[in-house]
Amino acid sequence: MASSLRLMAEQNAIATEERKHRHEERPKQIQEEMNDRNMQRNTLAYTPMSKAYFHSKKREIMARRELFISNYAPTMGDEDDDYGL
């Protein structure tokens, strides 16, 4: 009986942690979707002020993505590896 209660408590804790994780990830996912839409936005028919705003947004997005890419550090293999060549 005690072991089944412990098991239920563990399962509840795991489910709670998964819900918390999904809740934390959702705003990030929404922001990425908005960024993707802004990057694809055609500003030809926009006013100069609107064009400037969206071009600024695109530069911000590109800078963030470049920062993410520039922080990339391979974790497998060494520079000395010839990978069998």
pLDDT tens by residue, 46-59: 999 999 999 999 99
Domain assignments of the chain as residue spans, ordered by start: 2-70
Contact (CB, 8 A) for 38 and 58: yes
Residue 73, pLDDT > 70, answer: no
| Token pair of 43 as six digits | 């500003």
| pTM of full prediction above 0.75 | no
Residue 83: per-residue pLDDT: 45
Residue 64: per-residue pLDDT: 87
> Which residues have CB under 8 Å from 43's CB, separation 6+?
50, 51, 54, 55
Residue 75: per-residue pLDDT: 63
